[in-house]
């Protein structure tokens, strides 16, 4: 019984921690977590109910870390997005995208003031 309760608490706590990562991360933590980090304009948004995945296509407008690219395609499980109370971005919206070495991706809306903080953090 105690093991079952511990497992249930763990299932709730792990996604909640992931949500804090996405929402409240300072620029230096994005740089540490990611192997690629860039700003982009959303060009396509797709919700695949059958696969329970959201897919977001992005035209890269600024690279903060990693190789420069022109576009990217990201996926996020619908369950995680909803648990984190993230809205799907709208076409034309500017977002910050992070990709890590394990091919995990994360994104958040990007304001100009936060983009400036990212630029300052990335300077040697």
Q: In the chain, where are the structural domains located?
A: 2-122
CATH topology of domain 2-122: OB fold (Dihydrolipoamide Acetyltransferase, E2P) (2.40.50)
| 61 closest CA partner among 71, 53, 52 | 71
Per the prediction, the chain carries an average pLDDT of: 81
The answer to whether 60 touches 69, Cβ cutoff 8 Å, is yes
16-63 tens-digit pLDDT: 445 545 556 899 999 998 999 999 999 999 988 889 999 999 999 999
User: Which has more pLDDT, 58 or 3?
Assistant: 58
105-109 β-sheet, strand order: 71-77, 53-65, 36-48, 94-99, 105-109
Residues 61-72, mean pLDDT to the nearest whole number: 93
| Choice between 122 and 32, residue whose per-residue pLDDT is larger | 32
Query: Confidence band (pLDDT; 50, 70, 90) for 103?
Result: confident
Q: How far apart are the first and last CA of the chain?
A: 53
Whether the pLDDT of residue 6 is over 70: the answer is no
> Which residues face 5 on adjacent strands?
none
DSSP track, 66-94: SS--SEEEEEEEHHHHHHTTPPPPPTT-E
How much is the pLDDT for 72?
Answer: 92
């Amino acid at each position: 019984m105690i093991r079952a309760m511990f497992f249930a608490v763990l299932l709730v706590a792990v996604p909640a921690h992931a949500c804090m990562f996405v929402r409240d991360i300072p620029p230096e933590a994005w740089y540490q977590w990611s192997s690629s980090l860039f700003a982009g304009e959303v060009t396509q948004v797709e919700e695949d109910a059958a696969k329970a995945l959201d897919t977001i296509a992005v035209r890269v407008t600024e690279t903060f870390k990693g190789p420069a690219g022109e576009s990217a395609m990201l996926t996020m499980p619908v369950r995680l997005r909803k648990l984190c109370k993230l809205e799907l971005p709208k076409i034309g919206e500017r977002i910050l995208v992070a990709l890590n070495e394990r091919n995990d991706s994360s994104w958040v809306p990007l304001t100009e003031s936060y983009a400036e903080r990212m630029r300052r953090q990335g300077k040697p």
